[in-house]
Structure 1
Amino acid sequence: MTTTASSFTQATDASFTADVLESDVPVLVDFWAAWCPPCRAMHPILEELAAERDDLRVVGLDCDSNPRVAAEYQVLSMPTFMVFKHGQPVLKLIGSRPKRKLVAELAEVLGS
């Protein structure tokens, strides 16, 4: 059984630059793993965000399948969420959280 978040893009080590770093809108990256229950709990929240927001792209990255990017950004705990603007990380959040809190944290760096 695979637990992938189907309604938002799943990046890979190979596609990360195109999917995230070259995006013309800010990107919220969900660094997750299939064995991580808090990661699975966050997927419906991230799917809602992806559907609700035109000003933010949501991208998942399975750290077990794509260890290069996870290592590059020093992701040691899952889930870890990072926001990238203009190809640069501007926010790093570790651990699951309620949608309300995540939206507030995003607003601080995105101004919306």
Structure 2
Amino acid sequence: MKTLESIEQMETYKNGKSVFLFTADWCPDCRVIEPFMPEVEEKFADYTFVMVDRDAFLQVCIDHDVFGIPSFLAFENGEELGRFVSKDRKTQEEIEAFLAEL
């Protein structure tokens, strides 16, 4: 998984086929999904997965109405394809179902 390093970089990723994972080091629910995310990325290899540190990019979260983590936003060609945004813990099955519906 790539790590977002700048707002400009986010705009570049949005123009491709990408999934942004909004997370934070202190978030226990974010830590729960870490072990299976490589498998999710492998199953959906046509997407570029990008981790967005909520604390480092708080304005990005606000601009995209992401107020709970972990959350996922998917984009293709600059358009939002879908979002799985909530403060609830997410399972591998729920994440994969979200991605399969895009």
One fold, TM greater than 0.5?
A: yes
Task: State the 1:105 CA deviation.
Answer: 1.7
State which of 45, 59, 70 in structure 2 corresponds to 1:68. 59
Q: Which residue of 1 aligns with 2:9?
A: 15
Q: How does 1:73-92 map to 2 (within 5 A)?
A: 73-92=64-83
Change over 3 Å in CA distance of 1:92–1:53 after alignment to 2: closer
Q: CA RMSD in A?
A: 1.6
Task: State the 1:52 CA deviation.
Answer: 3.6
Kindly provide the CA deviation profile for residues 70-90 of structure 1, in whole angstroms up to 9, marking residues without a partner as x: 111011111111111221222
Secondary structure of the equivalent of 1:15?
Answer: helix
- Contact 1:28 1:59 survives alignment (8 Å): yes
- Contact 1:46 1:58 survives alignment (8 Å): no
Q: How does 1:1-112 map to 2 (within 5 A)?
A: 8-12=1-5, 13-18=7-12, 20-23=13-16, 26-93=17-84, 94=86, 95-109=88-102
- Contact 2:15 2:75 survives alignment (8 Å): no
Equivalent residues, number: 99
- The code of the aligned residue for 1:82 comes to L
Runs of 5+ consecutive residues of structure 2 not aligned to the other structure? none
Kindly provide the CA deviation profile for residues 35-57 of structure 1, in whole angstroms up to 9, marking residues without a partner as x: 10001111222222223432121
Q: Which moved more, 1:81-90 or 1:56-65?
A: 81-90
Q: Using structure 1 for the length normalisation, give the TM-score.
A: 0.77
The 1-side partners of 2:14 and 2:98 are apart by 21
